[in-house]
């Protein structure tokens, strides 16, 4: 297992889906289920952090009086 803090959004999401699948099947021992749940929680947090990071990078284009683009401004949430 790789370090969650170093994973890309896509890798974390893929592994999270696999963890959820294992937990939903219910064919793992209790101790393994607990470990999977903890790993899933860390993966979910990583995905949320990466989404927030991407959201903060999104900007809207601002237009000047003549309708020409003049720059960018933070996206209103």
Burial class (CB in 10 A: 0-12, 13-18, 19+), 43: buried
- Residue/partner pairs of 66-71 with CB below 8 Å, 24 or more apart: none
- CATH number of the domain that 27 lies in? 1.10.287
Q: What is the pLDDT along the chain (77 residues), one digit of tens a residue?
A: 679 999 999 999 999 999 999 999 999 999 999 999 999 999 999 999 999 888 777 767 677 778 777 777 766 65
Domain enclosing residue 43, as ranges: 4-74
Please say whether the beta carbons of 17 and 59 come within 8 A: no
Domain count, the chain: 1
- Residues β-bridged to residue 60: 73
Assessment of whether the complete model's pTM goes beyond 0.75: no
- Rama region for 55: left / alpha / beta (φ>0; ψ in -120 to 50; rest): alpha
């Amino acid at each position: 297992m790789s370090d969650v803090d170093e994973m890309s959004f896509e890798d974390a999401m893929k592994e999270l889906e696999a963890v959820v699948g294992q937990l939903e099947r219910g064919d793992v021992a209790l101790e393994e289920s607990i470990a999977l749940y903890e790993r899933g929680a860390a993966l979910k947090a990583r995905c949320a952090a990466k989404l927030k990071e991407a959201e903060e990078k999104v900007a809207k284009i601002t237009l000047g009086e003549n309708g020409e683009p003049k720059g960018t401004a933070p996206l209103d949430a």
